[in-house]
Structure 1
Amino acid sequence: MWVFAVFVTTVFLAYANGANDNFKGVATLFGSQTTNYKVAIWWATATTFAGSICSVILASALLKNFSGKGLVPDAIADTSSFHIAVALGAALTVILATVTGFPISTTHGITGALTGAGLAAIGMELNFAALGKSFFIPLLASPLIAIVLGIILYSLLHYLRMALKIEKAWCICVGNQQKLIPIAISSDSNNLAMSTTPNLAIDTKENCSQRYVGNFWGIDSHKIVDTCHFLSAGAVSFARGLNDTPKIVALLLTVTAFSIRGGMLAVGLGMAIGGLLNARKVAMTVSNKITTLNPGKGLAANVVTGFLVIFASRMGVPVSTTHVSVGSIFGVGVISKTAHIGMFSKVLSSWFLTLPIAATLSSITYLLLPK
């Protein structure tokens, strides 16, 4: 019974993680109109799942950090009730954010849930020093680093583009639009009829797409940017799977019937299904509402995100892919003067609420479970 409960709640957390996080790696592809939603989400799913599988070898250091050991005594960290409380508290928090369209951090949610369950179990004997050093500092520092690196890298790429004389161009879109017009049918009344008229749009996000013109080593510049953009988005999604999977699998360590490899596979599948079924609301927020994106901005943001998350995974540092991704996207928006400050402030507020909500839900769950 306990084994089944731990497994179900952990896979539920993986599903919630996929729903909220999977699209973030490819958000720039969709937001810059490089590709459509369907292609983007399948590319995210494939590369995230690859990262989940590779995390067995490349990111095993994160398993210990998120098992609860070091925060609470091993006798408590090894219990099924503790792991169920953490998984359920974090999962409910992430699902709540997902249905409201806010991109929050599963890492942040698990950290809050570990804190809440730990406080419910042992009160103020919780190892706050380890909590700050191993969890809070990386989570607070990573988005700031991502913003700064996003600004620096986009500025560098902009300089290189100008030096190589690769110019931006906008297409001129000509088409038809339909509108209602009044037509007189008597002296005192009008009716409405549908009329089709030509429509010309220049430099509008809705009707035109930006392209890069020129050649680099004989290759079309726009094709180079698009190819690098796709690869960078895949790298971010791979890094996310690499970084997030061990954090969730750590909650399965009490289930002796599962090997680490089996746990990675189950969590990877849960993340993939969650992303495919429930990612759209968060996708719209990250792709369109934090800043106006083009392929160059997206490429710069993805390179920063992929580098930071892969580096952190190898070092066993629990950074949040969400914080890094949103931070880098906001950074390129700041330097290009297209950032939407109001939406970023709302996202930031949701991050501050993640910890107390997850902590409250996990502590209540722990207190209600039989020991």
Structure 2
Amino acid sequence: MAIDPSNNQWKTLDKDLGRISQVEYAVQYVSRPMVGVGVALAFIVVAALGALLFFGQQPSSYVVIAAAAFGAYMALNIGANDVANNMGPAVGANALTMGGAIAIAAIFESAGALLAGGDVVSTISKGIIDPASVEDAQVLIWAMMAALISSALWVNLATMLGAPVSTTHSVVGGVMGAGIAAAGLGAVNWPTMGTIALSWVVSPALGGLIAALFLAFIKAKIIYTEDKIAAARRWVPVLIGIMAAAFGAYLALKGLKKVIKIDLEHALLIGLVSGVVFYAISAPFIRRQSEGLENRNKSLKKLFALPLVFSAALLSFAHGANDVANAVGPLAAIVHAAEFGAFAGKVSIPTWVMVIGAFGISFGLFLFGPKLIRMVGSQITKLNPMRAYCVALSAAFTVIVASWLGLPVSSTHIAVGAVFGVGFFREWHAERRTRANSHKRGPGKSIAPEERRRRKLVRRSHFMTIVAAWVVTVPAAALMSGVIFLVLEAVFV
């Protein structure tokens, strides 16, 4: 039988084309992460050019241009790390897709920063450094530059390691380290630092406890009842009212200070009115939505999904209003010192600085946020809409309680602590039910210790990584900031 040489040629060509296709796929796989880095660099360049546009005629414009670039870099890292805490539970519970979560967070974070973000920020970041120690504008500029660079680098590193950390604490550590390098240990307000250190324990513990209590309530009053749908009709509107009350008070207290300053008593009154209104609206809505649903847990998830989406959006708005100003505070201080050549205890945040913060967060979330969103939402413990709703409710509720008690808290620590609280409560509850069932089965039916360890509902590796990152954040950012300040001082002063 004769062999057709043309067939062999075509087979050889097909193999070569297949190899070329594999190379193209490999190139695309390798280059995909570089697209995000390229877009991020482009945003940083645009921020620097914007600063050049505003300060091109100023003698110290190069300092502001560099600070704007690092401020944009910091904002990108906030979007990549901090925002995941608000959206992670909703994505992990499948109430939102990753794309939907990113879109909602980008819109509400930006709206919170631009519409309700604080227009005044303390240049010494909440009294950490004695103002008398940095009255020299040049010293202040390099100290704030070092704080900005170090905090951005630390948040970037934490994101790469998959650890959600507090960006506010990173800025605090950066300011403290630069202050020590500039004026010595005596420049630091150590009682203030002590209260911030206390928040490392208070924030996650309070968030976890409140989330666990809400989950216990939902299990007792809704999940473990004979008629789950009837129980949901009674209690889900109450939970929505509590959520609305918490968010109403939270936004009045934290998110509207640019428009009007509201004290705690009036904020709680606003929250109470919001809770009553939303209860009245949600009761008939839940009743209609529950018609025809089967008496099973899967049906309950549908009733909690929409409130969970709203809570995630409100958390993002509040985060943008409250935390963005803290992050761009060093940049605002540099701009003020460069423009007026003098130190100021408080400065106004220019609109273009807030724009850098708002858009930087959106870009950072879109380009690099999915990694932390997945980690918070699904890799610490398994979440469903009821558990995720407890996390969101705890995040807003804890801030109100902490404000009432006068305790400094971190929104990042609260949200992640609430996820841990839900997970550890599930472990405790499952262990209790296992023990009860083993007593019913009688002796000889107990579960082996290895099997008990395998059934743990919170991943211990993530727990240890996150707690370690929280503890290290302030000293690590402080050390980096001190070194960077000394380098900047040696080169430019």
| 1:201-220 → structure 2 map (5 Å cutoff) | 216-220=286-290
Aligned counterpart, 1:349: 468
Tell me how far apart the structure 1 counterparts of residues 185 and 199 of structure 2 sit (CA, whole Å).
23
Q: Percent identity?
A: 26
Q: Which residue of 1 aligns with 2:419?
A: 329
The 2-side partners of 1:226 and 1:299 are apart by 8
**What is aligned with 2:305?**
226
Indicate the residue corresponding to 1:29 in structure 2: 90
Instruction: Give the C-alpha shift of residue 75 in structure 1.
Output: 1.0
Shift of 1:219: 2.0
What is the CA-CA distance between 1:286 and the residue it aligns to?
Answer: 0.9
CA RMSD of aligned residues (A): 2.8
Q: Which of 376, 385, 400 is the equivalent residue of 1:295? A: 385
More divergent stretch after superposition (2-11 vs 124-133): 124-133
Return 5+ residue gaps in structure 2 as ranges: 1-61, 230-284, 291-299, 340-347, 428-456
Give the aligned partner of residue 65 of structure 1.
125
- Matched with 1:173 is none
Structure 1 residue 306: deviation in Å? Answer: 2.6
Aligned-partner residue type, residue 123 of structure 1: G
Instruction: Establish whether residue 253 from structure 1 lines up as the match of residue 333 from structure 2.
Output: yes
Aligned position for 1:240: 319
2:113 matches 1:52 = yes
> What's the CA shift string for 1:301-336, capped at 9, x where partnerless?
011113334776899975322111100111111112
Task: Check conservation: 2:129, 2:189, Cα contact below 8 A.
Answer: no
Q: 2:479 aligns with which of 360, 365, 369?
A: 360
Deviations 1:175-225 (A, max 9, x none): xxxxxxxxxxxxxxxxxxxxxxxxxxxxxxxxxxxxxxxx95232254431
Q: Greater relative contact order: 1 or 2 (C-alpha under 8 angstroms, separation 6 or more)? A: 1
Structure 2 residue corresponding to 1:284, chosen from 374, 383, 393: 374
Residue type at the aligned position of 1:364 = V
Worse-matched range after superposition: 236-245 or 296-305: 236-245
Count residues with an aligned counterpart: 323
The answer on 1:116 being equivalent to 2:177 is yes
Alignment of 1:304 onto 2:394: yes
Structure 2 CA distance for partners of 1:270 and 1:316, relative to 1, 3 Å: farther
Displacement of 1:121: 0.8
| Distance change >3 Å, CA 283–CA 130, structure 1 → 2 | same
Tell me the alpha carbon deviations over residues 227-276 of structure 1, each in whole angstroms, 9 at most, x when there is no partner. 11101111222222122111122111231368433322221111111111
Greater shift, 62-71 or 227-236, is seen at: 62-71
Paired position in structure 1 for 2:204? 143
1:75 corresponds, among 97, 121, 135, to 135
**1:52 and 1:268 in contact (8 A); partners too:** yes
Provide the secondary structure at the position in 2 that maps to 1:282: helix
TM-score (norm 2): 0.60
**Gapped regions of structure 1 (runs ≥ 5):** 168-214
Q: Classify 1:244/1:260 alpha carbon distance in 2 versus 1 (closer, same or farther; 3 Å).
A: same
Structure 1: which amino acid aligns with 2:372?
V
Residue 99 (structure 1) aligned to one of 146, 160, 172: 160
Partner of 1:20: 81
- Separation (CA, whole Å) in 1 of partners of 2:388 and 2:201: 23
Q: Distance in 2 between matches of 1:133 and 1:260?
A: 31
Taking a change above 3 Å as real, the CA distance of residues 358 and 26 of structure 1, as seen in their structure-2 partners, is: same
Q: Distance in 2 between matches of 1:11 and 1:356?
A: 23
* CA shift for structure 1 position 354: 1.7
TM-score normalised by structure 1 residue count? 0.78
8 Å CA contact 2:301, 2:386 repeated in 1? no
Whether the 8 Å CA contact 1:88–1:362 is kept in 2: the answer is yes
| 2: CA distance, partners of 1:264 / 1:151 | 36
Specify the alignment match of 1:210 in structure 2. Answer: none
Structure 2 residue matching 1:65: 3-state secondary structure: coil
1:244 is matched by which residue type in structure 2?
D
Equivalence map 1:148-227=2 (5 Å): 148-162=209-223, 165-166=227-228, 216-220=286-290, 221-227=300-306
Which residue number in structure 1 is paired with residue 355 of structure 2?
Answer: 265
Contact 2:179 2:188 in 1 (8 A): no
More helix by share: 2
Q: Give the secondary structure class of the aligned counterpart of 1:336.
A: helix
Structure 1: which amino acid aligns with 2:289? I
Are the aligned partners of 1:242 and 1:313 in contact in 2 as well (CA < 8 Å)?
no
Higher strand share: 1
Mapped partners of 1:69, 1:44: distance in 2: 33
